[in-house]
């Protein structure tokens, strides 16, 4: 399906950024410079740029005998992610296999189980049933221990495994798992988030509620407070640019305490909560992000009104968090609520409405509610065709998902008439439901 590429294939000596400028990196000072640039590209979802940089970075780090192997593991993890988001499934598979070897050599049980989970998903998507099943079984055995048997991510991987069994006509085995089968989408690449959740479970909770409450508050004037607030906000912004999400979160958490101390208006409090929720979400601390953003949503409804566009965007974002937590019912409910507001405020033919409908269709699709999925896809596609045009990237992504649905429901000829370049998994958008950052 996709041309295989050797992981050590020589990368170009420079890359072209999205802005069109040539960025020369043929002779960087150190491989860490490359890694820093790659992290920024990943944060900006410039996956092609990130892959080029990470290939160069891996070659340079691997050739340096003094490189910490944990840093090499991180590079490989990010490379596999960049390849997955470009639909380079075989390349991602090869990188995951190399990453698994490195994790085993380092005797790192957390990275090992995360590698196995992503290998299960990649092989599942490539219809490599034997390899996928072996990885799913190993993942489920170990992730139950690391996260606990009732964790939402344990349920998620059982749902993926059940879907794979159904695809092989092993319905009785799938039914015995006791979960609703769920298809894989491009958003189910979860390495960094699963690592964070496991580490938190093992006693590395990051910025806890206790840590927040223990922040020392000193007496200060309003002028001093405003100077400190602006300084923290600027430092937090710079921290995001260099990929230090933990520092950014801490700075915003301190600002939150300042806001509460000086009894600032809801608008400022909401902005701080949005920023903290975004940092928590990007670090994989989904339950904390959920609680923080729910608090922000309550304030938005109170201060802006229940039908404000900011409320719709907040519910759209929360739908994505609930989706990752394997709560399809709440995800669908939040999306439907956000769509009603979007249609009222922006009009029924707006691209944002189409994106939300696309996401709604995706969730119905992955839990096999095909009739509801098709209804949402059709409405979204009609809008995107008229507003964005047939050649737009978002229209193409939706067409892939719709064709996949038609093929799944026995309408192969209709799927062919759409003429999509199917990638093997369902796509999505989450344009207005993204993290506030």
**61: CATH:** 1.25.40.10
Summarize pLDDT for 316-359 with one digit per residue, the tens.
999 999 998 889 999 999 999 999 999 999 999 999 999 999 99
| Ranges of H-type helices in 264-369 | 266-282, 286-304, 309-324, 328-346, 351-366
Boundary of a domain, candidates 201, 220, 249? 201
Sequence-ordered list of residues with C-beta below 8 angstroms from that of 291, at least 6 positions apart, any chain: none
Summarize pLDDT for 13-24 with one digit per residue, the tens.
333 444 444 444
Per-residue pLDDT at 223 exceeds 50: yes
Per-residue pLDDT at 437 exceeds 60: no
Boundary of a domain, candidates 201, 234, 263? 201
34 in Cβ contact with 53 (< 8 Å): yes
Instruction: Calculate helix-pair angle for 109-125, 152-167, nearest 10 degrees.
Output: 30
Strand partners, 426: 185
Q: Is residue 313 one of the residues assigned to a domain? A: yes
The pLDDT-based confidence of 314 (bands split at 50, 70, 90) is: very high
Per-residue pLDDT at 29 exceeds 80: no
Per-residue pLDDT at 311 exceeds 90: yes
Residue 222's pLDDT is what?
76
Q: Is the same domain home to 319 and 178?
A: no
Residue 106's pLDDT is what?
80
CA 324, 380, 406, 403 dihedral sign is negative
Q: Is residue 390 one of the residues assigned to a domain? A: yes
Domain boundaries, position 180: 14-201
Q: Is residue 322 one of the residues assigned to a domain? A: yes
- Structurally, how many domains does the chain consist of? 2
The pLDDT-based confidence of 257 (bands split at 50, 70, 90) is: confident
Higher-pLDDT residue of 97, 436? 97
Percent of the chain, pLDDT > 70? 82
Q: Is the same domain home to 191 and 310?
A: no
Q: Is residue 207 one of the residues assigned to a domain? A: no
Q: Is the same domain home to 197 and 341?
A: no
Residue 160's pLDDT is what?
93
Q: Is residue 214 one of the residues assigned to a domain? A: no
Per-residue pLDDT at 211 exceeds 50: no
Residue 338's pLDDT is what?
96
Q: Is residue 280 one of the residues assigned to a domain? A: no
Q: Is the same domain home to 186 and 71?
A: yes
Q: Is the same domain home to 20 and 150?
A: yes
State whether residue 375 is helix, strand or coil. helix
Q: Is the same domain home to 437 and 323?
A: yes
Q: Is the same domain home to 186 and 63?
A: yes
Q: 122-131, 141-150, 320-329, 374-383 — which is least confidently predicted? A: 141-150
Q: Is residue 354 one of the residues assigned to a domain? A: yes
Query: pTM, whole model, 2 decimals?
Result: 0.72
Q: 82-86, 136-140, 234-238, 417-421 — which is least confidently predicted? A: 417-421
Q: Is the same domain home to 190 and 48?
A: yes
Boundary of a domain, candidates 146, 173, 201? 201
CA 68 to chain centre: 27
What integer is the mean pLDDT of 395-404? 89
CB atoms within 10 A of CB 213: 8
Q: Is the same domain home to 19 and 145?
A: yes
Q: Is residue 320 one of the residues assigned to a domain? A: yes
């Amino acid at each position: 399906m996709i041309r295989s590429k050797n992981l050590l294939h020589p990368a170009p000596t420079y890359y072209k950024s999205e802005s069109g400028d040539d960025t020369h990196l043929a002779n960087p000072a150190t491989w860490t410079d490359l890694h820093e640039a790659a992290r920024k590209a990943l944060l900006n979802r410039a996956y092609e740029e990130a892959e080029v940089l990470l290939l160069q970075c891996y070659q340079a780090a691997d050739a340096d005998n003094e490189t910490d192997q944990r840093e090499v593991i991180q590079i490989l993890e990010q490379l596999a992610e960049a390849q997955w988001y470009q639909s380079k499934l075989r390349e991602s598979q090869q990188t995951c296999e190399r990453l698994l070897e490195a994790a085993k050599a380092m005797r790192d049980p957390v990275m090992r189980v995360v590698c196995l989970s992503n290998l299960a998903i990649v092989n599942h998507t490539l219809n490599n049933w034997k390899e996928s099943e072996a990885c799913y079984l190993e993942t489920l055995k170990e992730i139950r221990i690391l996260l606990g048997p009732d964790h939402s991510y344990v349920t998620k991987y059982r749902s993926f495994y059940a879907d794979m069994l159904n695809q092989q006509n092993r319905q009785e085995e799938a039914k015995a798992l006791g979960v609703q089968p769920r298809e894989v989408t491009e958003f189910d690449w979860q390495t960094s988030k699963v690592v964070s959740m496991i580490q938190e479970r093992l006693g590395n909770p990051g910025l806890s509620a206790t840590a927040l409450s223990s922040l020392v508050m000193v007496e200060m004037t309003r002028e001093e407070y405003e100077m400190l607030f602006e300084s923290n906000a600027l430092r937090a912004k710079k921290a995001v640019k260099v990929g230090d999400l933990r520092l950014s979160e801490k700075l915003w958490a301190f600002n939150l305490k300042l806001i509460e101390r000086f009894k600032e208006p809801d608008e400022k409090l909401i902005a701080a909560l949005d920023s903290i929720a975004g940092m928590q979400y990007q670090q994989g601390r989904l339950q904390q992000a959920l609680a923080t953003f729910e608090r922000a949503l309550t304030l938005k409804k109170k201060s802006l009104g229940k039908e404000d566009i900011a409320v719709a965007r907040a519910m759209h974002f929360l739908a994505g968090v609930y989706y990752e937590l394997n709560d399809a019912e709440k995800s669908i409910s939040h999306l439907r609520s956000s769509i009603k507001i979007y249609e009222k405020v922006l009009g029924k033919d707006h691209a944002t409405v189409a994106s939300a409908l696309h996401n709604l269709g995706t969730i119905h699709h992955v839990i096999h509610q095909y009739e509801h999925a098709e209804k949402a896809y059709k409405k979204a596609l009609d809008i995107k065709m008229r507003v964005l045009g047939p050649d737009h990237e978002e229209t193409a992504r939706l067409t892939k998902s719709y064709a996949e649905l038609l093929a799944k429901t026995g309408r192969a000829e209709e799927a062919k008439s759409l003429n999509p370049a199917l990638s093997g998994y369902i796509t999505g958008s989450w344009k207005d439901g993204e993290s506030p950052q």
